Chain A
Amino acid sequence: MPEEMKTLVVTGLRTQFNTAKGPVAAVRDVNLKVARGEIVGLVGESGSGKSVTGLSIMGLIDAPGEITAGAILLNGEDLRKASPKRLRELRGDRIAMIFQDPMMTLNPVLRIDTQMIEAIRVHDHKVGRQEARERCRDALGLVGIPSPEERLEAYPHEFSGGMRQRVAIAIAMLNRPDIIIADEPTTALDVTIQSQILAQMQKLCRDTGTALIWITHDLTVVAGLTDRVYVMYAGDVVEEAPVEDLLDRPIHPYTDGLIRSIPSHNAPGQPLNQIPGITPALDRMPAGCRFHPRCPRRTDACLEEIALRSFGPAREARCIHPLVEG
């Protein structure tokens, strides 16, 4: 597919935070592509830069953070070059974000209808209040909120956690955006509620052609939900692959270690395969491959900077000792 057909193309993104000890890069040289209707997983542990990548795409990085390089093309338009006014027009209309905590989205002192109607009319002044209200009601019904007409008049505290997250999802979907970035939206929820929300997100993407970036640390969710996956470690994308390839034939030793450490992948009662050591702090990154101190396959050559390279169609990894040869 040609690049201009993609909904979102991120190239060479670098986001750094300027600290008293000097700048530290939370995200460096990240490339992402998402096609219309595609569900992409962005997987990583704490400090991998996955959330900062999402916030950078949304233009929500504030001082002392700063995007210092790269381009973020939404339908061909570079968001880094867009004015603050243009960004406000796009956010909530063409591109939307769902956070782990729905109270990041919801205003606790306003009724749900007030917040939802505002989200429609701020982007399209021609829509009347009554029509906007009907669209809000339908949106709540779509995400599975019972008796949406009455619930429109409720305040956020009158909803349970799972219901609040559904309201946040309904708001993100209101204007049928081209892409939604979801940052661990189901991590705090119970299993049965999580699977309700996954079902609805999946259906909405299929029905409306909205693209979705699902940021998570949970590979088991990624397995069922996504088409393609990017794995991040310490600010780098270390592997990119269709979901089957990634889970069945991982290339990067970090991806392999993550998959092996999942309990269901190990015989019950036996010791789990573990990745030794911990994720390095941002201001004390090892030279070369950032994973090398924890990697069973490391050699002296890993002390050099490693570039992403291709391992066949739609597969890239940042490793010189891959588990699968390309």
Chain B
Amino acid sequence: MSAALITAEGISRRFAKHPDLAARIANKLGAHHASRVVHAVDDVSLSVNEGEVVGLVGESGCGKSTIGRIIAGIDSPSDGRILYRGEDMAKAEGARARHIALKIQMIFQDPLDSLNPRYRMGEIVREAPRYHRVAPARELEAHVDSVLERVGLDPRTKDRFPHQFSGGQRQRIGIARALAVNPELIVCDESVASLDVSIQAQIINLFMRLRRELGLSYIFISHDIGVVRHISDRVVVMYLGRVVEEAPVEELFAHANHPYTQALLREVPRLDNRHISFTPLSGEIASPLAPPPGCHFHPRCPFAMDVCKRVRPALLEIAPGHKSACHLNTEPAAAAAEA
């Protein structure tokens, strides 16, 4: 197995609502206003090997975008650290810090939100390599053109503004901007979710071709299990800020272990299911402001036991490369008694 390119160790990210003036005065006078804390990401570890595509799936509010932003360096963790080839990114300084920060780039969901509407397409792609001197000034334009051609954009359209491109072309601009600084890992946050089916296929094919040609690694964040299955080598499933299961892609689809993963895979609409009676998982996704104690999934879990309400299950290896955080794996006797 190739060496880990990026390792995230014990990452947590908490967002606190700061008390307003009235609450601060009340606290000074002796009231006890607890500030509300959201545990968006709670002790998550994951790694990406060189040339590997890791799919990150989960529903709204599970923290998949937050962990992506932390790895891309857009947000910083409350706890834990990010290692680039074994080197702690937070400890790097000066030119070295800037150099390794460039190695991880991010592509967002809605290209119109992430492209400056007043910049011409050429400027959007040129800005970062010029600032970071990725190419000598004389060769900058040739560098930009070659990146544009690589993602299927015509360099003659460099003078156009983002709104003059179609949705699929805008996503290509976002990809070109990320590629222009020669990254090694790209974090794709729902990067094909807003595209039509026929355009989505074009962009997914582009991602796979870039991986082959440039040896790129991806963290592919998506709620679309079909897309993740198609593109990933390994899949990490998150629920309410925690990793509940992690496995190589075919292993996960063949032998999903965690009850949440099983439900998620069962409920993905499939082309070969006709006139089916939907038998959904009951219950709502709990609010991350007040997650249930113990295993976060227990209120919706058909196999919930007493221990699930009290103790957080550990993420344990149940088969080579396959980890799952479920009490059913460690207390089979109790599970059998319940069944």
Binding site for B on A (CB under 8 A): 45-46, 160-163, 190-196, 198-199, 202, 217-221, 223-224, 227, 243-244, 247, 257-259, 261-266, 268-269, 271-276, 278-279
Task: Scan residues 172-203 of chain B and give those whose CB is less than 8 A from a CB of chain A.
Answer: 196-202
Knowing A195-B280, A199-B277, A244-B274, the reply to whether A269 touches B198 (Cβ < 8 A) is no
Binding site for A on B (CB under 8 A): 59-60, 166-168, 196-202, 204-205, 208-209, 223-227, 229-231, 249-250, 263-264, 267-282, 284-285
Q: Which residues of A contact B208 (CB under 8 A)?
A: 269, 271
Nearest CB on A from B300, distance (A): 8
Cα distance A262–B269 in the bound complex, in angstroms? 12
New A-B contacts (14) at CB < 8 Å, excluding given A192-B267, A276-B202: A192-B281, A194-B269, A202-B278, A219-B197, A220-B268, A224-B269, A224-B270, A224-B275, A243-B275, A247-B271, A262-B197, A263-B230, A274-B202, A278-B199
Nearest CB on B from A265, distance (A): 6
Question: CB distance B201 to A275 under 8 Å?
Answer: yes
Q: Which residues of A contact B250 (CB under 8 A)?
A: 268
Chain B residue nearest to A274 in the complex (CB): B201
Chain B residue nearest to A46 in the complex (CB): B196
Q: Which residues of A contact B269 (CB under 8 A)?
A: 194-195, 198, 218, 220-221, 223-224
Nearest CB on A from B165, distance (A): 10
Nearest CB on A from B147, distance (A): 21
Q: Which residues of A contact B59 (CB under 8 A)?
A: 190-193
Q: Which residues of B contact A162 (CB under 8 A)?
A: 284
Q: Which residues of B contact A163 (CB under 8 A)?
A: 284
Q: Which residues of A contact B268 (CB under 8 A)?
A: 191, 220
Cα distance A279–B204 in the bound complex, in angstroms? 18
Knowing A192-B263, A263-B204, A263-B229, the reply to whether A274 touches B198 (Cβ < 8 A) is yes
Q: Which residues of A contact B264 (CB under 8 A)?
A: 191-192
Knowing A45-B197, A193-B284, the reply to whether A264 touches B205 (Cβ < 8 A) is no
Nearest CB on B from A133, distance (A): 24
Q: Which residues of A contact B205 (CB under 8 A)?
A: 271-272, 274
Knowing A191-B223, A191-B264, A191-B268, the reply to whether A268 touches B230 (Cβ < 8 A) is yes
Question: CB distance B275 to A258 under 8 Å?
Answer: no
Q: Which residues of B contact A218 (CB under 8 A)?
A: 197, 269
Question: CB distance A195 to B270 under 8 Å?
Answer: no
Question: CB distance A220 to B226 under 8 Å?
Answer: yes
Knowing A160-B284, A272-B205, the reply to whether A220 touches B277 (Cβ < 8 A) is no
Knowing A192-B267, A223-B273, the reply to whether A199 touches B280 (Cβ < 8 A) is yes
Knowing A223-B271, A263-B204, the reply to whether A217 touches B223 (Cβ < 8 A) is no
Nearest CB on A from B14, distance (A): 22
Chain A residue nearest to B272 in the complex (CB): A223
The 7 closest A-B pairs by CB, nearest first: A199-B278, A261-B201, A263-B230, A190-B59, A220-B269, A45-B196, A275-B198
Q: State which of B230, B271, B275, B280 has its C-beta within 8 Å of the C-beta of A269.
A: B230
Q: Which residues of B contact A257 (CB under 8 A)?
A: 198
Q: Which residues of A contact B230 (CB under 8 A)?
A: 263-264, 266, 268-269, 272
Nearest CB on B from A280, distance (A): 11
Chain B residue nearest to A201 in the complex (CB): B278
Knowing A220-B270, A224-B274, A244-B274, the reply to whether A190 touches B199 (Cβ < 8 A) is no
Q: Which residues of B contact A190 (CB under 8 A)?
A: 59-60, 223, 285
Cα distance A161–B275 in the bound complex, in angstroms? 26
Cα distance A227–B167 in the bound complex, in angstroms? 32
Nearest CB on A from B133, distance (A): 35
Question: CB distance A264 to B280 under 8 Å?
Answer: no
Q: Which residues of B contact A192 (CB under 8 A)?
A: 59, 263-264, 267, 280-281, 285
What are some 8 contacts across the A-B interface (CB < 8 A)?
A192-B267, A198-B269, A198-B280, A199-B277, A199-B278, A199-B279, A223-B269, A263-B229
Knowing A163-B284, A220-B271, A224-B274, the reply to whether A258 touches B198 (Cβ < 8 A) is yes
Question: CB distance A191 to B277 under 8 Å?
Answer: no
Question: CB distance B226 to A263 under 8 Å?
Answer: yes
Q: Which residues of B contact A269 (CB under 8 A)?
A: 208, 230-231
Cα distance A122–B274 in the bound complex, in angstroms? 39
Nearest CB on B from A310, distance (A): 23
Question: CB distance B276 to A224 under 8 Å?
Answer: yes
Question: CB distance B197 to A191 under 8 Å?
Answer: no
Q: Which residues of B contact A223 (CB under 8 A)?
A: 269-274
Cα distance A268–B249 in the bound complex, in angstroms? 10
Cα distance A223–B268 in the bound complex, in angstroms? 12
Cα distance A190–B208 in the bound complex, in angstroms? 26
Chain A residue nearest to B250 in the complex (CB): A268
Cα distance A271–B212 in the bound complex, in angstroms? 11
Cα distance A161–B59 in the bound complex, in angstroms? 13
Question: CB distance B229 to A268 under 8 Å?
Answer: yes
Cα distance A227–B275 in the bound complex, in angstroms? 7
Q: Which residues of B contact A191 (CB under 8 A)?
A: 59, 223, 225, 264, 267-268
